[in-house]
Structure 1
Amino acid sequence: MMGEIPSDKPSSVASDLSEESGVFRGFIVHASVDPQKDRLFFVGRLEDGRSFAAVEAQWRPYVHIREEDWGAWDSLVDAPPGQKSPAALESFSGRERLLRLDFSRYGDRAAGVKLLERAGIPSPDGDTKPPEAFLLERRVRGPVELRGQSRPGRFVDVVFPHPQILPAPGPVTLPLKTASVDIETDMGDGSLRAVGVSWTGTLGRDQILRDTQGLVRVLGSPDASPAAGVPLFFHPDERSLLAAFIDDIRRIDPDVITGWNFLDFDFPRLAERCEFFHIPFNLGRSGDRAKYFPGEGRRSGAALIPGRQVLDALRIVRSGPQRFSDYTLQTVSREVLGEGKLVTSSGKDKAEELDRLYREDIRTFGAYCCRDAELVLRILAETGLFRLTLERASLTGVSLDKAWTSVVSFERIYALELGVRGIAPPPAVSRRVSGAAGGTVLDPRQGLFRNIAVFDFRSLYPTIIRTFNIDPLARERVSSPGISPAEAPITAPNGAVFSRSPGILPALIAEYFAARREALDRGDEIAAHVYKILMNSFYGVLGTAACRYGLTELAGAITSFARKWLLFSRDWFTGQGCPVLYGDTDSLFVETGLDDQAGFGDFLDRCGALAKELNVSLSRQVQAEYRLTSFMELRFEKAYRRFMIPPLRGLHEAGEIRGRAKGYGGYLLHPDGTGSVEVKGMEAVRSDVTPLARRVQLELLALVFAGGGEGEFREKIFETVRLLKAGALDGELVYRKRLSRPPETYTSSTPPQVKAARALGWKARRGTVEYLWTEQGPEPVSLPHAPPDYEHYLDSQVLPVARSIADAAGWTGELFPRKSRDRRTRLDRNEGQLDLDL
């Protein structure tokens, strides 16, 4: 909440401090209600770089109810005063009339919404907060145009007391200021040792290195050592350090505050220490305090800073398109920037090194803290993830902190489109939704194959939605009396029925496809990615009860159509003499019949022609069966010279032969004639196995794809076993597994990573645990531990990988015994088999 209209703050840019009138454009960072003075606040930054607060005091809050529920509302003796008026919106179903209840005070609306919930009276917008309702009415999605008079502010540069608030026409430059915060604490009592802040204006690749500034505040006494390249301020006590940090944030005046794991560690710790010292936690653009809301169960914590947004960089990176071996700041920084933290050790070694630096080299300690904050800004800039967050928020209309939430974004987009049509959303009611089922998986054929092509449907689920008018409103308003045969509804294979009247989702997808194509044509991959992930999220949203539009039959209609056309395509390829080895959701792996002399251009010609013919057949079938235009498009994606599907382990060992779904490897052909080993869903690309298993699998696959035989294969395994038992591979034995919830919440079972976390003393903590499997079981790497259990690594990491490849290649099924501890016979390697005990 913004407690008062900000005033008397000097501008952060050169400007005349007198009142000015005109048209200004900017971006809304935070919206809130002041219930005491019954007004709305919209806070953000203008294109010219000034922070602003816009005050809306004339708009009055309201809720809609069904006309038939007026009697029930009117009979509530404790109902707050509300004015009944005809609604300008239709109900979602179109079968009910709505009334609008207008309130003169925001507190009355809040009380009214609680009464509606208690009385069981549904409302389409009772759960919509007033600032969101106002912005929906105005069609404002973040970029905003402000018309009217402004004056200097206290907590912001300018205040608009009575502006006209409109959606900004055309593109808006978004010069948001971002500050990254990192804290260092005493591992014993949790007190602060240092707070580093790094900040910048526009967070882009070009500006980040040129414009970034930083400072660090350290608990301690200054020494005579030279400065470490960053402004360093010393404080005699923690209270003065905290107070100075709060002043820093208000002086820097960022729109966004971020950090690595910021919401699960830094922010709550700062809030705790301020409370401990009775220091107002006033980080925002008002006199109100920042607040932390702890997570429950699997839900992570959240933060509120009036007038600003809090974004956890770790969460954003996890939501982004790029995958990493783990999500520590050190790993992500190394992979993205090619450089990392000043202290590179981890676990206990890291804690000891930081303790030493704090005692002996406090300036380097401070530089370490500030560098961590700076690395976060550089990662967000280099990956484009900060801009991606802004683009998502600007397109959907949700706040920056919710830009990566699928359900909230979908509901906001859909409500905007409903508003254009004069229709209210459906009430949010509790109901069972079976969930978004996985795609169709065709039984894979185990084995090693030659010259395989992969075909995939381009954006299959979005194009199915667009082709068959799959849409919540089209389902709700599916028919009316006297409908003609030409207007007969569309029936999906799962029985769901949809109107032929153009739906909202198909229109949105058509718009997004066009916008994505424009973005790709101008080389803007970030904007293109925004449209892609939004379209792809529609299916999952329709299959969750968390979304007011989620229904089992909606999600089922999409997957049932996908199955229908995947099977159609499989049968078509088979009819062309090209057997299908495997299929999953939107992809088919097809034997081309080409020989090993075929180059990539031959694949392109052959498979391009096949895809074109199949698309014509698809279009004809859709037109004949549904009288619709097909937007589905199959295309040739890639070619493998060699392709391997390993056996499904448990069934293969029981004598049943079946390929493993979602796990395969191949020798991928590139357009320039070169090739490389590619692995999907197998150990080589899984972060929860050891580096040993990943390396061994890649090397064995490369050997097999290059034409290596059983003898070379056995020699490779023999050498790996010898090195393993000699201790030469100890650096590749570390497991890295993430705890999705604190270790104390595991009660029914205790996975090895949980045992390791408990040995480290973890409580109320999540994260990645590093451990070895020793002769005493799982033990943390960072603590003294017993010697590695080499038999465990042989049985669980090396032999399963080798066995699956050998089986797929059609070699001796008993090349390697199933368990080293149960081996009864050890044959000499000269006889063609392997002595694994050496």
Structure 2
Amino acid sequence: MSAVSTKIFLLTGEWFDYKGKNLIRLFGTSNELGAVEVLISTNKPVFFIKRNTILNPVGKTYFRKETNLKNFDFEEVDALYFNTQQALQKQESELSELNIKTFESDVDPLRRFLMEKFIYAQIEVEGEAQNKNNLTRFVNPKIKSTKVNPEFVIASLDIETGTNQIYSIAVHITGRKGELKKVFMIGAVPKKSPEFISFHQNETELLNSFIAWFNEVDPDIIIGWHVVGFDLLFLDNKCNELNIPFKIARANGKVTIRAKKPSGFFANITGRIIIDGPSSLRASFFDFEDFKLETVAQELLGTGKTINPDKKKVDEIDRLFAEDKLALAEYNLNDAILVTDIFKKTGLLELSVRRSQISGLFIDQLGMMTNAFDHFYLPLLHRKGFVAP
């Protein structure tokens, strides 16, 4: 290990209780080090109660401390610190049953950790660092807020499918590591084909090769067109069907894809951000006749898909897979490149980064306006001597 100092743009974060401690784990990207993990094992979840509250000392799981804070009725409050969030939630529940009011017991430990340090998606860390599997890891480093202009590795992802079958996966890599094109295709190796296409005997071989390659390239951000509700969801379901671990998260983290009414699907991949093209364009107040890739690409870029829009798309993709896999690979990759170019043309990624730096929220949480208000409001409220109701 060696002492290192670096600035990090935060991508994802999580908290969890482990062996009697509340742990906070942050993932981000450093322009110098690449992917970074920061683990905090010294965090103490906290809420507040009125100072005149008498608590039963039996089974005590907290440390009580006087503060200089008051509630909105100008009553003095004490802080109750816990080793775990589970202990905090249990104590809050018991107090609620006794009609004893608590303050800020609904603020989760990750949000509180970041907001109280005035961290707005950017940190500077200093401490011992360990590098393993493309990831630089810090444990309990010194942390302070900072400003950084992040350089990302971006993967534009697109898949082509038949009836419950993967035909091909295309990925267009841009950003800090330069441009890279890759297509994974089911089928026999032809006599001649571009180097960026790899051929695989079956779906199992294709998926295993894709996952290994993806983790080696190690993108920070995944973009696409309906990339969550179609591409990632299909890949996740197919991996489950074939008993293949869909391990595309960093540090053996989780891949979670779930329905989120009324807005479709939401994906969480430890250490990586997913940005869907149509959703981001709508959130940024772009307006088109419709949000099909062909429509948006033609209006913004003056070009579109390699399959004539007048043809029946599904039938033509099936025909290309059966008769002309090189043309299908070109079509698949072109769609991924179109998404890259749309993001560049509109500045969607830069806009998301700036909104994250202003709100303090992770990029995949930018729609959570209540959280953004809390992030800005609570630390200032505390410094004025009050706790939130």
TM-score, shorter chain, exceeding 0.5 = yes
Alpha-carbon distance, 1:254 to partner: 1.4
- Confirm or deny that 1:218 pairs with 2:185: yes
Distance 2:287 2:344 in 1: 17
**What's 1:234 paired with?**
199
**What's 2:87 paired with?**
108
Asked if the contact 1:22/1:149 (under 8 Å) is kept, the reply is yes
| Partner of residue 399 from structure 1, selected from 345, 362, 385 | 362
Identity across aligned pairs (percent)? 25
| Partner of residue 377 from structure 1, selected from 340, 345, 348 | 340
Tell me: CA distance 1:107–1:24, structure 2 relative to 1, closer, same or farther (3 Å): same
**Which amino acid in structure 1 is aligned with residue 24 of structure 2?**
L
**What's 2:142 paired with?**
164
Tell me: CA distance 1:360–1:399, structure 2 relative to 1, closer, same or farther (3 Å): same
Q: TM-score, normalised by structure 1?
A: 0.44
Distance 1:120 1:263 in 2: 43
Tell me: CA distance 1:67–1:344, structure 2 relative to 1, closer, same or farther (3 Å): farther
**What's 1:177 paired with?**
153
**What's 1:294 paired with?**
259
**What's 1:573 paired with?**
none
Asked if the contact 2:111/2:375 (under 8 Å) is kept, the reply is no
Once the two structures are superposed, what CA deviation does each residue of 1:137-194 show, in whole Å capped at 9, x if it has no partner? Answer: 21111111111221213351x11123111001xx4121122212111121x3x22221
Once the two structures are superposed, what CA deviation does each residue of 1:774-819 show, in whole Å capped at 9, x if it has no partner? Answer: xxxxxxxxxxxxxxxxxxxxxxxxxxxxxxxxxxxxxxxxxxxxxx
Alpha-carbon distance, 1:110 to partner: 4.4
**What's 2:132 paired with?**
153
Gaps of 5+ in 1: 1-18, 427-838
- Confirm or deny that 1:335 pairs with 2:299: yes
Task: Report matched runs for 1:437-836 at 5 Å.
Answer: none
SS at match of 2:244: coil
Tell me: CA distance 1:239–1:104, structure 2 relative to 1, closer, same or farther (3 Å): same
Gaps of 5+ in 2: none
**Which amino acid in structure 2 is aligned with residue 62 of structure 1?**
V
Alpha-carbon distance, 1:123 to partner: 4.1
Once the two structures are superposed, what CA deviation does each residue of 1:333-357 show, in whole Å capped at 9, x if it has no partner? Answer: 11112211222427x8111111111
SS at match of 1:108: helix
Tell me: CA distance 1:66–1:22, structure 2 relative to 1, closer, same or farther (3 Å): same
Distance 1:23 1:47 in 2: 12
Distance 1:245 1:65 in 2: 52
Distance 2:306 2:98 in 1: 59
**Which amino acid in structure 2 is aligned with residue 43 of structure 1?**
F
SS at match of 1:35: strand
Asked if the contact 1:177/1:255 (under 8 Å) is kept, the reply is yes
Alpha-carbon distance, 1:258 to partner: 2.0
| Partner of residue 125 from structure 1, selected from 93, 99, 104 | 104
SS at match of 1:352: helix
Asked if the contact 1:271/1:291 (under 8 Å) is kept, the reply is no
Q: TM-score, normalised by structure 2?
A: 0.91
Alpha-carbon distance, 1:67 to partner: 4.2
- Confirm or deny that 1:196 pairs with 2:160: no
Asked if the contact 2:25/2:40 (under 8 Å) is kept, the reply is yes
| Partner of residue 252 from structure 1, selected from 217, 220, 223 | 217
| Structure with the higher helix share, 1 or 2 | 1
Asked if the contact 1:28/1:42 (under 8 Å) is kept, the reply is yes
Distance 1:420 1:242 in 2: 52
Alpha-carbon distance, 1:383 to partner: 0.6
Alpha-carbon distance, 1:414 to partner: 2.3
SS at match of 1:311: strand
- Confirm or deny that 1:61 pairs with 2:45: yes
SS at match of 2:320: helix
**Which amino acid in structure 1 is aligned with residue 276 of structure 2?**
D
Alpha-carbon distance, 1:59 to partner: 2.3
Asked if the contact 1:330/1:344 (under 8 Å) is kept, the reply is no
Tell me: CA distance 1:303–1:76, structure 2 relative to 1, closer, same or farther (3 Å): farther
Asked if the contact 2:10/2:29 (under 8 Å) is kept, the reply is yes
| Structure with the higher strand share, 1 or 2 | 2
| CA RMSD in angstroms, aligned pairs only | 2.5
Tell me: CA distance 1:22–1:75, structure 2 relative to 1, closer, same or farther (3 Å): same
**Which amino acid in structure 2 is aligned with residue 193 of structure 1?**
Y
Distance 1:363 1:120 in 2: 69
Distance 1:274 1:183 in 2: 14
Tell me: CA distance 1:86–1:315, structure 2 relative to 1, closer, same or farther (3 Å): same
Alpha-carbon distance, 1:118 to partner: 6.5
Distance 2:168 2:60 in 1: 50
**What's 1:21 paired with?**
3
SS at match of 1:58: strand
Tell me: CA distance 1:87–1:219, structure 2 relative to 1, closer, same or farther (3 Å): farther
Distance 1:253 1:313 in 2: 21
Tell me: CA distance 1:226–1:219, structure 2 relative to 1, closer, same or farther (3 Å): closer
**What's 2:14 paired with?**
32
Tell me: CA distance 1:146–1:88, structure 2 relative to 1, closer, same or farther (3 Å): farther
Once the two structures are superposed, what CA deviation does each residue of 1:537-566 show, in whole Å capped at 9, x if it has no partner? Answer: xxxxxxxxxxxxxxxxxxxxxxxxxxxxxx
**Which amino acid in structure 2 is aligned with residue 55 of structure 1?**
L
Distance 1:376 1:116 in 2: 52
Asked if the contact 1:155/1:285 (under 8 Å) is kept, the reply is no
Distance 2:93 2:336 in 1: 43
**Which amino acid in structure 1 is aligned with residue 141 of structure 2?**
P
Once the two structures are superposed, what CA deviation does each residue of 1:490-511 show, in whole Å capped at 9, x if it has no partner? Answer: xxxxxxxxxxxxxxxxxxxxxx
Distance 1:35 1:249 in 2: 30
Tell me: CA distance 1:267–1:419, structure 2 relative to 1, closer, same or farther (3 Å): farther
Once the two structures are superposed, what CA deviation does each residue of 1:674-699 show, in whole Å capped at 9, x if it has no partner? Answer: xxxxxxxxxxxxxxxxxxxxxxxxxx
**What's 1:45 paired with?**
29
SS at match of 1:178: strand
- Confirm or deny that 1:90 pairs with 2:57: no
Alpha-carbon distance, 1:288 to partner: 3.0
Asked if the contact 1:181/1:373 (under 8 Å) is kept, the reply is yes
Asked if the contact 2:7/2:30 (under 8 Å) is kept, the reply is yes
**What's 2:282 paired with?**
318
SS at match of 2:312: helix
Alpha-carbon distance, 1:419 to partner: 4.0
Tell me: CA distance 1:41–1:368, structure 2 relative to 1, closer, same or farther (3 Å): same
- Confirm or deny that 1:273 pairs with 2:238: yes
Q: How many residues align?
A: 387
